[in-house]
Structure 1
Amino acid sequence: MTAPLHSRFLVHPSPVGEVLIVTTDEGVVTLHPLRGPLENELEGLSRVLRSTPDRADDDAVAAEVARQLDEYFAGERQEFDVPLDWRLVRGFTREALEAVREIPYGETAAYAEVAANAGSPRAARAVGTACATTPFSIVVPVHRVVRADGSIGEYGGHPEDKVFLLELERAASE
């Protein structure tokens, strides 16, 4: 029998709203802007993780992620150097998200390009699904993935956040 999963959470302010950071002993298991009440997010995560996250008051990984997010939003950080816990990601989704991590700061790539880089050139729609369902927002830059015509798409129903992140990166790289 395996030991119960120990997870911790931190809510951190950002220009795209409060960001929920959840860590395990493996690393960041999810990070995304809060879109509803914290209690609802934690309840859903508790079901998926089979563990109720504790407050991350003294969690070094959560504190480091928060610091790196602040640097990113200040235009001082171009990539994140934090361990990721991939337990919520399965199959091709992980390959797609790993390929997304290779898109350079301040640049974009089409879904089909990411699919090809992930080893499945015909899986552009699956890349879209991977980006839409990623547990890792911002630290895995799914905001850099765009449609073939260059339009940005929905970004989880918040295209204004995607525009903000892309403009932030473009401005910081000039």
Structure 2
Amino acid sequence: MNEEAYINTPLGIAKICGNVDGISSVTVLNNDLAEITSVIPEILEDCVYQLQEYFNGTRQQFNLNLNPQGTDFQKRVWEQLSTIPYGKTISYLDLAKQLGDVKVIRAAASANGKNPLWIIIPCHRVIGTDGSLTGYAGGLSRKQWLLNHESPYKQQSLF
């Protein structure tokens, strides 16, 4: 049986789901209607803690038991996404090449968009070949926020 928790993040309320087999999904909701979980289920505590560290800027890699549900191809894509280093980006074409076939670029992009483990499997680190932000299930503003958060060159506000 899946446990779930709702936590506050800088991107909005995140919903975390998982069970003894691992974390199956982390998504940021597009509204703030969910009630924040007051007592985190034990099975999700480590995930919540690691996400808080990530948002605080003290964690760059996650060390969690993951159990995303998807096709074999989607899982291959998600495994490849997990190799993209913190603070780095690759293009969809690079991703397809890493998977061994440039012709799978659209399928890889589709699998990227179906990633159920936002942030933990860093689908936000995939950009267009021209460097543009393209497609992100959570919205481009969240993708930009995550890339800025991970950037070694922090943008300073002038005001």
* TM-score normalized by the length of structure 2: 0.87
Structure 2 partner of 1:83: 65
Structure 2 partner of 1:52: none
Aligned 8 A contact 2:28 2:138 in 1: no
Q: Are residues 75 and 38 of structure 1, via their aligned partners in 2, closer, same or farther at CA, if it must alter by over 3 Å?
A: same
Write the letter of the residue equivalent to 2:48.
A
Q: 1:99 aligns with which of 80, 85, 88?
A: 80
Structure 1: stretches of 5+ with no match in the other structure: 1-5, 40-54
Structure 1 partner of 2:23: 28
Greater shift in the superposed pair: 29-38 or 72-81:
29-38
Q: 1:121 aligns with which of 102, 122, 137?
A: 102
Across the two proteins, how many residue pairs are aligned to each other?
153
Deviations 1:90-143 (A, max 9, x none): 121111111111011000001111122123332111111011111111100000
What is the rounded CA distance, in whole Å, between the counterparts of 1:157 and 1:143 in structure 2? 9
Deviation (angstroms), 1:34: 1.1
Deviation (angstroms), 1:169: 0.3
What is the rounded CA distance, in whole Å, between the counterparts of 1:167 and 1:106 in structure 2? 9
Q: Are residues 18 and 172 of structure 1, via their aligned partners in 2, closer, same or farther at CA, if it must alter by over 3 Å?
A: farther
Aligned CA-pair RMSD: 2.2
Q: Are residues 24 and 157 of structure 1, via their aligned partners in 2, closer, same or farther at CA, if it must alter by over 3 Å?
A: closer
Q: Using the aligned pairs only, state the percent identity.
A: 29
What is the rounded CA distance, in whole Å, between the counterparts of 1:114 and 1:155 in structure 2? 15
Q: Are residues 21 and 149 of structure 1, via their aligned partners in 2, closer, same or farther at CA, if it must alter by over 3 Å?
A: same
Q: 1:13 aligns with which of 8, 27, 45?
A: 8
Aligned 8 A contact 1:9 1:56 in 2: no
Write the letter of the residue equivalent to 2:44.
A
What is the rounded CA distance, in whole Å, between the counterparts of 2:138 and 2:24 in structure 1? 22
Structure 2: stretches of 5+ with no match in the other structure: 155-159
Greater shift in the superposed pair: 69-78 or 56-65:
56-65
